[in-house]
A and B are shown apart, each in its own frame.
Chain A
Amino acid sequence: MESETCEFEIWIRSIQEMCSLQMPDEVLNRIAQEIERRYGAKLWFAEILGKRWSYIAGVRQGSPASPLQYIILTSRLGMVAEGWEQIPEKDQIFLLSFLRDYLGREHTRDGECSS
């Protein structure tokens, strides 16, 4: 488990280079795909507009039988997670920290939603 977590952190750091080269939704798609591959959890990302969570990127194959978790990443962006509990807690913390930092920077850079 310890080596898996280190490996996950290494993987996240590796995509930080990609972040400057690719569009945010492509980065988020990569992250969602990797999380599903590693842990079976499904993530998708949305722009928060009042009651509306408007899809930006991520897995598009949610299951109605699985409860969802809504995680606010920034004031404008959220993540919907199915099977969040399947991700080890340390990786959850690391992932959220990375996403909040990355998306916070993207939001500031563009002056509007990074999608």
Chain B
Amino acid sequence: MERRLIQFIAGLRAAGVRISIAESEDAFKAVQRVGMRNQTLFKEALQLTLIKKGADTPTLEALFPIYFQAPSIQANNLIDKLSPEEQQLLHRTVDELLAQLSDSTDEVRQPRLPKELSKEQQIEQTRQLVEALLSGQSVAAETFEQASQQVLPNSTRNVDLSRRWSLEQRIMHHMGGQLLTKVKDPLPGQLHKAGLNNDTINELMQGLTANLELFQEQVAEQIELSIAQQWADQHSERTHQADQLMDRTLQQLTEQEATLLRQEIRRLVAQLRSKIALRQKQAKRNSLDIRKTLRRNMRYGGVPLELIYKTQDKKPQLLLLCDISNSMRKVVEFTLRLVYELQDQVSNVRTFTYIDTLTEISQTFAQASPEMALHQVATHLRPHHPNTDLGRCLADLLQNYREMITPQTTVIIVGDACNSWNDPRVNVMAKLQQFSKEIMWLNPRPENLWEANDCDMLKYRPFAQAVYQVGTLTELTVAIDQLFREN
């Protein structure tokens, strides 16, 4: 059972819950005290020692049943209910049926198994299965291990329901399930011929069916467990992959790679966040706070033995303007995710998206994940593909949302500055710079293309205090880091 607990902790870690060794030790000690008999208390003990953040509770709730499924019903031992003569009769009948199978010339159809079983092996497996079902034994771990190794692919976690069902079927076949019907169906008839009375036969068949269902359930549970364990085992591999993806151009990521990055983003920004928080703490000494100093030193009769300095609240206020034309989607999505993760380091964020019109997504962004928010906005777009018109959107911003731009606001524009030959309205940009604290531009377009075609970047450049070319996630992280630099 300890092994199962260790696997559970590994599973939690793979799902993103950070558990230290000290905490796993505490979990073991707690389980020793609490015992495993009472499942509620067992679960509570694990929750108290392993989960230290409210947000991780759903993960535990989801993984707990997979690893610690309580056996609800026990399979019945059907053989014990029969008298010794009846037992002998039953065994003989089953043997006869199996012998018939091996004599028959029917080709046994096998579903695409990597390793085909010979007919004798199949019959042997069926015999074992029938024995197990009759005596009410549960799935032996080794049998399952063997079967699953043949059948389970090295797949990723999200094996959907239909695939799981087919996996179940294949494992059942491998364990002798395919030929089972050929034994089970004629069984009542043969038993009747052998002389068993009808009531006993009915009872036996009902018990057999019930045991078979239970058996199938157990197989399903074991499959879930194997998948979860595989996922946990591949955890380190995935983190390595994610680290490498940090330096790939975001626009060129495949959907699978993008998903991997999204899952790992919290871990990737953890370092950024602690850097930022530490920087705030080590802020340069400011001027003396006279009032607090005197208050603190009253106990020394007013002699200033301890000095208190003024602290500044340095959390930036942000206004994001994101270009959501097709080429920009991925970059914008990851920028929004980064900002979302760093929410506690900023005091206020307002988010706008634009192509040819401006839309505020602050509300949807706060409630849903960034990708949902972007998706929602995208669905509200007009059916034809609009051309980007930043100038018009800037004018719109200054006209309708003027009160959001204060001298403490940092405006971040995430876009490639390609305006489809529309009027760049540089004067509006100048006004924006005047009203806000500073403008920061994140442009994924390579620098040598900034004066090519319809790109107006060089026209806007004089008005932006900080311009960064952000193609990869690493560059994006560096740019966001600069946002929190000391002034």
Bound pair (A, B): no
Binding site for B on A (CB under 8 A): none
